[in-house]
């Protein structure tokens, strides 16, 4: 979810240096910024590279950007046919939405870009709000989803009062509250966490972010019947140290996902495995992608 703006700039430069394309795609809602890494070996369906992993998509959380996956994308680049990382309207380098960015508008806009950009079904990896976007896309367009790799996805059905209380976590009135929020995100907060509290408050004060939170209602969360019959392979990774999402949200997904879903609860990660255990996160995606490739 969270990325320090300075670190984000470094990540963008590093991706550009590796030849990962940074460009913009227009939807009916906004101009989306995306990272696109296409493996030259895959363009010609090179028979000497039969081990290339399928196309992988990364979807970030609220207030964040696709640059949080920079390390993972860089290390997957040579092993994967293609990597796409799409930034939500009003996030990262994406333009401001033309309308209020409710969760429903967000889902539709992201789906529009995905369908336009994909040339084959993809493994869709989503964290937090990005996980909810991934689930929504899989429900509405299963033909485009080869597999789902979810890390602490949002969207679980909740009691309306509990959901209202959960949304309050995202309202910061001081730098101290912003620092407390960072302790929820990381299993072990980085040393610089106290220094970036003002930037975090600014990130969550953006209109697009506030619109998503204001437009979120308990009546629009996923119900068990929405996800019970998802046909594609699914891997749910939910760190035992997740201090942001209520435990009930994990139990909802554990009980509601189809029986073929693989559930993983690592001990050493919190809400964002790509921060707390980047190597473990990468290895998990590779194992999942390889298992799909052999089917």
Number of domains the chain contains? 1
Read out DSSP for 133-165?
Answer: HHHHHHHH-GGGEEEEEEES-S-----HHHHHH
Do 7 and 196 touch, CB atoms closer than 8 A? no
Phi, psi of 252 (to 5 degrees): -60, -50
Q: What is the CATH number of the domain that holds 177?
A: 3.40.50.1820
Query: Distance between CA 245 and CA 248 in Å, rounded?
Result: 8
- Say if residues 150 and 57 touch (Cβ distance below 8 Å): no
Provide the whole-model pTM: 0.94
Q: pLDDT tens, position by position, for the chain (295 residues)?
A: 444 466 677 778 888 888 899 999 999 999 999 999 998 887 655 544 568 999 999 999 999 999 999 999 999 999 999 999 999 999 999 999 999 999 999 999 999 999 999 999 999 999 999 999 999 999 999 999 999 999 999 999 999 999 999 999 999 889 999 999 999 999 888 877 778 888 888 889 999 999 999 999 999 999 999 999 999 999 999 999 999 999 999 999 999 999 999 999 999 999 999 999 999 999 999 999 999 987 7
Q: Which element (helix H / strand E) includes 264? A: strand 262-264
Whether 51 contacts 20, CB under 8 Å: no
Q: Note the pLDDT of residue 44.
A: 57
Beta strands in 214-261 (DSSP E): 234-237
What pLDDT is stored for residue 228 in this prediction? 97
- Give the pLDDT score at 46: 53
Question: In the chain, count of helices (H) and strands (E)?
Answer: 13, 8
Cβ atoms within 10 Å, residue 149: 26
Report the pLDDT value the prediction gives residue 6, as an integer from 0 to 100: 64
As a whole number of angstroms, the distance between CA 127 and CA 272 comes to: 7
What domain range is 176 assigned to?
Answer: 5-293
């Amino acid at each position: 979810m969270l990325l320090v703006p300075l670190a984000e700039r470094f990540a963008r430069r590093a991706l550009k240096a590796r030849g990962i394309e940074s460009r913009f795609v227009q939807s009916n809602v906004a101009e989306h910024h995306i990272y696109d890494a296409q493996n030259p070996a895959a363009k010609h369906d090179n028979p000497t590279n039969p081990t290339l992993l399928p196309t992988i998509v990364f979807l970030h959380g609220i207030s964040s950007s696709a640059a949080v996956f920079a390390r993972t994308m860089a290390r997957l680049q040579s092993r994967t046919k293609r990597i796409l990382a799409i930034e939500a309207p009003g996030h990262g380098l994406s333009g401001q939405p033309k309308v209020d960015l409710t969760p429903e508008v967000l889902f539709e806009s992201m789906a529009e870009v995905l369908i336009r950009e994909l040339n084959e079904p993809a493994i869709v990896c989503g964290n937090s709000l990005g996980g909810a976007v991934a689930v929504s896309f899989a429900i509405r367009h299963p033909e485009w989803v080869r597999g789902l790799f979810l890390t602490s996805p949002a969207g679980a059905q909740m009691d309306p009062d509990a959901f209202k209380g959960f949304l309050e976590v995202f309202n910061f009135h001081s730098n101290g509250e912003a620092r407390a929020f960072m302790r929820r995100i990381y299993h072990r907060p980085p040393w610089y966490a106290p220094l970036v509290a003002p930037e975090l408050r600014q990130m969550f004060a953006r209109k697009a972010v506030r619109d998503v939170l204001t437009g979120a209602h308990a009546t629009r969360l996923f119900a068990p019947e929405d996800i019970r019959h998802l046909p594609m392979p699914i891997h749910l990774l939910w760190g035992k140290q997740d201090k942001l999402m209520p435990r009930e949200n994990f139990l909802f997904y554990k009980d509601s996902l189809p029986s073929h879903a693989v559930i993983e609860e690592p001990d050493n990660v919190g809400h964002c495995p790509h921060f707390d255990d980047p190597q473990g996160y990468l290895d998990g995606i590779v194992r999942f992608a390889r298992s799909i490739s052999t089917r």
